A and B are shown apart, each in its own frame.
Chain A
């Protein structure tokens, strides 16, 4: 596919749909007249699509903060309760490939949880920023599936048949991977550079210039989430950790063991969020 044309098509995407289960819960949240911004924020922070929706809005030129806001709580306080409610009212759901999307959702959420744990281990000052970028790291897959459903089905088949990574199959079919398509929409929606870079380089963290540590953390979280078997990112086996990223993070065996223990604990709760039917 012609990359220019591809990019133009992808940039034309205005909104992304979410999972049906999330929408059900979302309606309960919006209809609760006593809900606080903090509670709405905690809810939104579990869903990549709702998160992109508020970040897109607050970073849009009309609000006047393009490229500045990468935290959901901060976005909500600048948008205000009424605008947030209205924004969430228009959310629609995926009608295609729901099954594989469910796995991707779990993977994204698992990655966000893991990044937060690693960020705390490495004493990064704003762990929320990392967990947001981890939550959004695979948004390019959502974008490709949404725009080019048939082509993406071919990607999945090809990866299976040739026994290669989804990422490499994407490259064969589209000429780019989900990392590029994700970065394109993130740029188009005026997301802060730190978010764009993590999305773009989560498979090649050593290329990140402004946020190398954050990119390395999300890269490692991606792989750890796959190895503990939480969610499904599309691949049947786990890709290799980038040696440069591993070196940069400089984690001890004990660090790693503690991280995996904590993941085990926290991912259970995260899993409940996605499978619950919204009656809670």
Chain B
């Protein structure tokens, strides 16, 4: 018996959160899935949000039978956040529901009400399986990685877009990581990913992109006019937030003692963030590597300044 095996192996049941106002439907779902999943029922999506944010479920079943547009809006907000976007969602529709463009309804799968009894179990299984195959996200920050970054830049070049690429990295990250351990270092990387993403998305909600190259390197893509203000805000926030990751003593001293690359003890300042920005307003790029190379050059320039900073390429040729 399948269930017996999973219990023996101590694999916890996957959690499936169900949002529906239909008591009969909830009963049906409970009957179908309660043996294989840990089921949680909510009547109201709004009230379920707090729970979802604090304990993200492995799967979401959302009953849209009464055609509530505010539920669709909440779903779209949830799915556009990388922290929760990977939760598979099945939307349930009534037989006569007129499905809008999928662009405006960010579900992963759907079922009509009549199909629930026969199909839901298998659909949920498939949803779990599919979710595990998508691995292009950085597991730590949940931001897209190199393959997506390259594709995003190349697509813009091919379309002839004018755009800016920022390359951000953290200075003195390694000594911090060595002194406090990698789990505190991971917290810093998560913070930086979150910070860059939220500032970029607030500054330019449409058409912007943030990726995590790996380690302490991040990429942001924005319109040329928006990128400097975003970089200014990112660096300013970084300087305020970063001190909270140090122990009080080190914070007050403004420096830490750690090992350099040769293994000798040295004094290092509090971490800073440098962003080098390149763009194709004044010159053409044929390939991703050209853009990333120039962003890299700019980053080195900005390293000569103390504190977090950014620098934009203003050369005409």
A interface vs B, CB < 8 Å?
A: 14-15, 36-37, 57, 60, 62-65, 68-71, 74, 77-83, 85-87, 89-90, 192, 210
The contact of A60 among B54, B197, B198, B240, by CB within 8 Å, is: B54
Task: Assess whether A77 is in contact with B50, with CB atoms less than 8 Å apart.
Answer: no
Task: Assess whether B198 is in contact with A77, with CB atoms less than 8 Å apart.
Answer: yes
Q: Which of B14-22, B96-104, B186-194, B258-266 contacts A (4 or more CB under 8 A)?
A: B186-194
Interface SS of B by simple majority: helix
A15 CA to B245 CA, complexed, in Å: 27
The contact of B201 among A36, A81, A86, by CB within 8 Å, is: A81
Task: Assess whether B54 is in contact with A87, with CB atoms less than 8 Å apart.
Answer: no
Task: Assess whether B49 is in contact with A86, with CB atoms less than 8 Å apart.
Answer: yes
Task: Assess whether B191 is in contact with A89, with CB atoms less than 8 Å apart.
Answer: no
Which residues from chain A contact B54 at a C-beta distance below 8 Å?
A: 57, 60, 62
Considering the complex, give the chain A residue whose CB is closest to the CB of B244: A68
B interface vs A, CB < 8 Å?
A: 46-47, 49-50, 53-56, 74, 77-78, 80-81, 83, 186-187, 190-191, 194-195, 197-199, 201-202, 237, 240-241, 244-245, 248
A19 CA to B187 CA, complexed, in Å: 35
Task: Assess whether B197 is in contact with A80, with CB atoms less than 8 Å apart.
Answer: yes
Task: Assess whether A83 is in contact with B81, with CB atoms less than 8 Å apart.
Answer: yes
Considering the complex, give the chain B residue whose CB is closest to the CB of A194: B248
Interface SS of A by simple majority: loop
Task: Assess whether B46 is in contact with A89, with CB atoms less than 8 Å apart.
Answer: yes
Q: Contacts A37-B202, A86-B78; is A77 near B53 (CB within 8 Å)?
A: no
The contact of A62 among B50, B53, B201, B248, by CB within 8 Å, is: B53
Apart from A90-B47, A192-B244, list 5 A-B contacts with CB within 8 A.
A63-B194, A64-B191, A68-B245, A81-B201, A86-B53
Which residues from chain A contact B49 at a C-beta distance below 8 Å?
A: 86-87, 89-90
Q: Contacts A36-B202, A69-B244, A77-B199; is A82 near B77 (CB within 8 Å)?
A: yes
Which residues from chain A contact B47 at a C-beta distance below 8 Å?
A: 90
Considering the complex, give the chain B residue whose CB is closest to the CB of A58: B194
> In the complex, what's the smallest C-beta–C-beta distance from B47 to chain A, in angstroms?
6
Q: Contacts A15-B50, A57-B54; is A86 near B77 (CB within 8 Å)?
A: yes
Which residues from chain A contact B56 at a C-beta distance below 8 Å?
A: 62
Task: Assess whether B245 is in contact with A86, with CB atoms less than 8 Å apart.
Answer: no
> In the complex, what's the smallest C-beta–C-beta distance from B238 to chain A, in angstroms?
10
Among A80, A85, A192, max chain B CB count under 10 A is at: A80
A86 CA to B71 CA, complexed, in Å: 11
Considering the complex, give the chain B residue whose CB is closest to the CB of A128: B240
The 8 A-B pairs of least Cβ separation, nearest first, read A80-B198, A82-B77, A64-B190, A68-B244, A86-B49, A90-B50, A78-B194, A89-B46
Among A57, A70, A82, A83, max chain B CB count under 10 A is at: A82
A274 CA to B66 CA, complexed, in Å: 37
Task: Assess whether B81 is in contact with A82, with CB atoms less than 8 Å apart.
Answer: yes
Considering the complex, give the chain A residue whose CB is closest to the CB of B52: A86
Considering the complex, give the chain B residue whose CB is closest to the CB of A82: B77
Which residues from chain A contact B191 at a C-beta distance below 8 Å?
A: 64-65, 78
> In the complex, what's the smallest C-beta–C-beta distance from B60 to chain A, in angstroms?
14
Which residues from chain A contact B248 at a C-beta distance below 8 Å?
A: 210
A87 CA to B51 CA, complexed, in Å: 10
Considering the complex, give the chain B residue whose CB is closest to the CB of A126: B240
Task: Assess whether B186 is in contact with A64, with CB atoms less than 8 Å apart.
Answer: yes
> In the complex, what's the smallest C-beta–C-beta distance from A153 to chain B, in angstroms?
28
> In the complex, what's the smallest C-beta–C-beta distance from A20 to chain B, in angstroms?
17
A83 CA to B241 CA, complexed, in Å: 19
Q: Contacts A15-B50, A87-B49; is A74 near B245 (CB within 8 Å)?
A: no
> In the complex, what's the smallest C-beta–C-beta distance from A58 to chain B, in angstroms?
9
Task: Assess whether A77 is in contact with B186, with CB atoms less than 8 Å apart.
Answer: no
> In the complex, what's the smallest C-beta–C-beta distance from A209 to chain B, in angstroms?
11
A65 CA to B242 CA, complexed, in Å: 11
